[in-house]
Structure 1
């Protein structure tokens, strides 16, 4: 069986790799890769040093002691002096790595301490003092970068292995790996005579620059190698391809993921239930039964008995793999892909098995379990609902979960299985995680600690309920802080909406009532500035009390009536006095001082008496303003009433994006969104996606407020806007159904379809 598989693997490679002569083409391909890489990274290094200068200056300004301030200023001057040298050394180190790779020598790190032309005696004395702290900081940065770019590096590792003539490369031996980049950056730092704590700050600051700028060169290089025919069909998809997909795709099941079958789901007597498995009452997963029914045909034609590997050999091989996975995780190495694990496991089993000349295979039931776990974790690493760094971490659980499933196959059938619940709880809590929302890495470090705990212990010794309880307590504490910020966010949004609504009502009142009348400039200015503020304030304070608001609205009509000249019936002195008295009271509401109130009231009183023929007209002509002029923005006048700018801006940039109202399935989907639902919005400007939770629905505008995992506002949208985003693929609702349930459903659909489409082919392949 294994020989056939090896032959099949070889033929597949022949089909997907059109790279016939690596040696002949290496001279063309490597320089192109180097050009793409250095073009992508060198400008970011230059910008980094420019930004570092500003950062050190800011830190010096805020330093608590004179010594610290002096230290930062000295570091700033040193960096300025040697910036061009550092950038050149970085480029030289990268070029050196490519030269070594071409020669087949994979030791890329040059010793810059030998550069006697630039190194001074102070630098030599500092190297020994800083070396340990520097190594720790560098290792941490490499590990984070390996985790963040896990999928791209997986593809690059495969492709550079082919470029190296098939040599089995480690991740650190790829000339564009984080290991090489970080050392290319950090090695020249030995040339800087600076204190250790400043050196560590410089390395830490480089972390953000690297994460922000490394993805594009990696993607470009992978795309270039694909065009060259070098592994164009690697299934471990790149995060950029996954996250930018306009809709959710279920994982495909191909090759090594052939449909499988299982026993009745009861554990064998050889594999007692682990102590840490305190199970609740079982809730059968009917999907698992569907998978069994669809896949039992796999072994129907296999009637010849074959010797199988001893269970102890399988357990030993798994324990060995788990130990290696833990070492890889601690060293910042890449995890094996879901498909690779079966191949490596079979190889380890063969190595551990006693060679007595008898051909053995893995027990068919165990092989089915291995394949099902492989499909489960392949679904996990392709699941759009999980952020890529979380996928990388959780994918490391495949080996221990395979160990669990081989001992207790109720992992698949019992929804209350605690190992299953742990994976579901971690996945659900991670749905809105982003690096930006977890700036101190508190959340991802907690997930990593749980993964590490599982890898460090034998399955019998893991207390899954305690792990679940601990994580849920941690998550609840985090959410409590977030809820406080979230509450402030929607309270602020509500306040802003109330202000906007009050201004909109004020604008509508003034526009409607003033549009027919030519009014004195003094009256126009009063209505559009102080009285607009009065109306806005009254609407804010008494938005649910129309009886209180009404007199202030009617005042506008009364003031307009007494201000219009040449009317049929002139106003009386009593009417003028009433208007002026009401104006005085209103102005006091918006904090006009008494002197200004009296001045404006007296000026208005004289004006109105003259307009209505109640007092002799003065020699000075009164300026009148046409209604269309009152609300027109004048370029030569900066100090125009705020309400005029509000009206103009509202017409140009309405809060509601002008989208067509279409009552289709997308509209219904947007309408049905509930508080707590997570959405992924495509952010074209930042070349990435944004995860946001529906936090609040406005009782005023009915807009939906979306916040990030920290409770901070991301955007607010109307139902029509959200529906349009769904319709155009600019938004996707993230599925909060438990991960295990979604995976089992997807696997069942694929397996049933494959079984119904090609039953004879399945049987033949299983019989081989």
Structure 2
């Protein structure tokens, strides 16, 4: 935050008259809570009046020192808007305070989820506001821990639900949220908004000691736990061992500082340094100069060295501020954090909170990654551009570790698993060797990638065999369906000679199948073999004697293609001779028929000519109708283009007993649609039963038969689904997609999403 000590004329007296909220509709509360609500609201509103005057002064001073016209215009506009809207802000603040007293049971409290939005962290205004709000709440909780604890206990006795620090109607969370929500509708410059929050912290949040004492006294006056402090007072009256020498002076000075802060007095540090303060981590407003980044890194390094000895399975999110507090007390030092360092600590905690809750990672490996919280915090403290550098080696290493861990399954002896051992080794080396030189991350990233390449090569060999087997099975099923479609189109509704039927069933069915599997239906060999089958059917059905010459020209080439087909399917010579002999007999009969028909046609033509001559010489007579014998007409032989369409439309029917009884889904069903969008390589969690759950990856989609093949991390097949099966598995949450994007980027997006939700009023 900028220095806002410059003072201008206060505008407090220009604001509207005293706001009266006594007529507001009161919620049905316990009597003591209702009295306290009205009293607390009025006290906090009085402090808020002072806030607007100080913000007015600060914004005017900041606008005069603005670096650009746009920024200056934004600050002046914010100043004018705050003057106009201060009454409405106060009203919203009061409403929010009242609503905080309507405490809901834990099961009705909304959990704040994550929304993955592609936003930038470094320049995100909402994130800065969130960090500012969380920082002021944390500082207030530390400063007023004892009266807050008493207040929560007293509230707990008069409310029917459990009261704790988060849902305390007058806790720092409730007061801060009430104000943040009150100013949220304002469309003002980010510097003005942050200044407003900073002034709220100084004027209200850091002046709550007397406020909480008054709240506790009011509840005592109403008979709520009046003896709560007596045991503490008795304990305080017993003689205590007092420190001597410098420690005693530091303790006395710390007591004086605490009393001064509670009464709202300014503390003049001067040249006294940290010796005038009690040991520990102090809020930035205590008057102590912020700890240099080098000292903070040294303290974090000591914490890192001590943290590495903890059990990996027990690692949880670290409260860095609490650890720093303990370390400073042990070292008898007092220090405060720079605003940017405090923000970074909060951001890293939020990021690792997401990482430790990510269901895409198994718990043992998630715990290992959680051990990197302190090293990555040191990286972020030393390099303030850490959050904006997508290619930072520390971020890349974390992403690589998480990517490798996505499909890992917890086994009975997971400690001996090669991947678990390798990730543990990488984390151990980071904790042992990283001080401030980030090159260690690049070295570890290179060696870990080499390990993953070796691991994946072994898995890829097995996976390739699985996919090839499934692909071969699919091609077989598709080929049978397409060959059957061709045969049905050529033979249906046709009375073919028995030998021709034998040729098609025993020889050409197999020829087409082999060609389809080997070369596919778009190849020249497939077209040639389909044409051969069609020519064979045509040769025994062509009208005679009109097709005699065309048949004579076709037979030599047809006989050669039939001979090649016999060799391709390795038909026995005996059976081949019989098939050729039978076909030769059919053609002999066809040509004999053609000769008889030609002779008969010639005879009929002569008779017709003679009849025409007689009719020309004789007188005209009434013509006599002659009935002609009807010849049955068979279905026309399909052309090659029609056969191509038949093949393209052939339905591949797979024998999938698991699909029996599954209801078909409409085209617009979201889970049915999802099956068309699944990317090869995506990870899933498959739940066959409560006891049998494992992770698998989509290795291949066999398009010919709509089959989805899933393998485990080692490349072994664990499941296969037809499309309808898969849609039902997704709908029943039997198969759930895992988010396998880059972990660090997903964590950043989650933080931004939580900020957006907070901005939209979700609590």
TM-score, L = length of structure 1? 0.46
TM-score, L = length of structure 2? 0.46
Which of the pair has more CA radius of gyration?
2
